[in-house]
Amino acid sequence: MASAKIKQSNAYRVFTVCNTVLMALISAVMLYPFIYLIAQSFSSAAAINAGEVGLLPVDFNVDTYKNILAGGEFVRYYGNTIVYSVLGTALALLLSSMLAYPLSKVELKGNKIIGPLIIFTMYFGGGMIPSYVVMITLGLRDTVAGFLFPGLISTYYVILMRSFFATIPKELEEAGEMDGLNKIGVFFRIALPLSMPIMATMALFYLVQYWNDWFDAFLYLDTKTKIPVALHLRNLISTAANAEDAGDSIQVAANIKSCAMVLTAAPIICVYPFIQKYFVQGMMLGGVKG
């Protein structure tokens, strides 16, 4: 009996070692593309094109960063991204919660019609072309609204918020009404402050969504000075790719591309490990409920 137990634990020890090695390998694979990009961004274009950069920078220099950050253009797009992300997130949070809160009230008869109609949009949408036609017809071409509107209210997030609002004790809201607040007052003064955990999580999701979005800008923003940095990055990469396809020697230097990518991903990568639990929380909220 005792020897069997020792045998088992020995086998398990071997497994644990293998598992640790495997997990370390997976972590390395997960991190490698980031490391490679960072190495490129500190290397010279010549070294990159010669295929010398693998893990560490070759011809280490910070000139690319200096040039990009002094060039004005990149800084401008970066600023656009910050403004759009903050503005979009604020609007998105406000509108999503204004929809989610009433939807969480079972006594509201209209929810029987509005609820299913909102959820239906998760199954079926207008499609790319009709949506584009509507946006253009509304005159949203080349406006900030054109960039912000398509992702302004995410039905999935509304559903997550609704389930959170539904857990707020009725007594607290009734107490607010006793103290003279109307229902809108109860929403802003009682329900919202009590929902800070979900609001923080949703804010992060919306922030990442707007920070990373390039396609809506690609469709609706024509003026170059208005574009967010993600679209600028896409244009850099596609110019380089087209030049490569055409066998053209004039390319966007690889170090400029990687430098721009590192700077664009930096805020998310640097902040993310510290706020990871809010993201995971959000994911769990939406988890399949058994």
Partner 1 sequence: MPTSTQSKPVKLKTHEEKQGFAYHMRRYWQLYALMVIPVVYYIVIRYLPMIGNVIAFRRYRAGSSILGDEFVGLRYVKQFINDTNFRKAFRNTLLLNFKYLIVSFPLTLIFALLLNEIKNAPWKKFVQTVSYLPHFISMVILAGMVREIVSTSGPINQLIVSMGGTATSFISLPEWFTTIFVVSGVWQGIGWGSIMYLAAMSGISPELYEAADIDGANKFQQCLHVTIPGILPTVSTLLVLNIGQLCGSGAFEKVFLLYSPTTYETADIIATYVYRMGIQSGNYSYSTAIGLFQGLINLILLMTANQVSKRLTGSALY
User: If you compute the radius of gyration of the chain from its CA atoms, what whole number of angstroms results?
Assistant: 25
Restricting to residues 163-192, name those near partner 1 by CB under 8 A.
182-184, 187
Cβ of residue 121: shortest distance to partner 1, in angstroms?
5
Residue 98 in the binding site for partner 1 (CB under 8 A) = yes
Exposed/middle/buried for residue 256 (C-beta within 10 Å: 0-12, 13-18, 19+):
buried
> Distance (Å, rounded) from C-alpha 260 to C-alpha 93?
29
> Least Å distance between CB 170 and partner 1?
14
Residues in contact with partner 1, counted by CB under 8 A, come to a total of 102
Comparing CB distances to partner 1, the nearer of 1 and 70 is: 1
Residues 252-281 that bind partner 1 (CB under 8 A): 254, 257-258, 261, 264-265, 268-269, 272-273, 276, 279-280
Three-class DSSP category at 25: helix
- Does residue 284 belong to the site contacting partner 1 (CB under 8 A)? yes
Reduced to 3 states, what is the DSSP secondary structure of residue 43? Answer: coil
Q: What is the DSSP string of 257-268?
A: HHHHHHHHHHHH
**How many C-beta atoms surround the C-beta of residue 217 within 10 A?**
25
Q: Are 96 and 202 in contact (CB under 8 A)?
A: yes
Q: Are 261 and 289 in contact (CB under 8 A)?
A: no
Q: Shortest Cβ distance from residue 255 to partner 1 (Å)?
A: 11
- Distance between CA atoms of residues 41 and 109, nearest Å: 58
Query: Could you say which residues in the range 2-41 bind partner 1, by CB under 8 A?
Result: 4, 8, 11-12, 15-16, 19-20, 22-23, 26-27, 29-31, 33-34, 36-37, 40
Q: Which of residues 36-55 bind partner 1 (CB under 8 A)?
A: 36-37, 40, 48-51, 54
Q: How far is the CB of 276 from partner 1 (least distance, A)?
A: 6
The string of DSSP letters for 48-94 reads HHTT--SSS-SS---HHHHHHHHSSHHHHHHHHHHHHHHHHHHHHHH
How many Å separate Cα 38 from the centre of its chain?
Answer: 21
Q: How far is the CB of 164 from partner 1 (least distance, A)?
A: 16
Residue 173: φ, ψ to 5°: -70, -40
Which residues inside 100-119 make contact with partner 1, applying CB under 8 A?
Answer: 101-103, 105, 107-110, 114, 117-119
Kindly identify the residues of this chain, within the stretch 117-156, that bind partner 1 according to CB under 8 A. Answer: 117-119, 121-134, 137-138, 149-150, 152-153
Q: Which is nearer to partner 1, 85 or 226 (CB)?
A: 85
- The contact mask relative to partner 1 for 201-220 (x = CB under 8 A, - = no) is -------x--xxxxx---x-
Q: What string marks each residue from 55 to 84 as x (binds partner 1 by CB under 8 A) or -? A: ------------------------------
Pair of tokens at residue 174: 């009734």
Length of the chain: 290
3-class secondary-structure state, position 50: coil
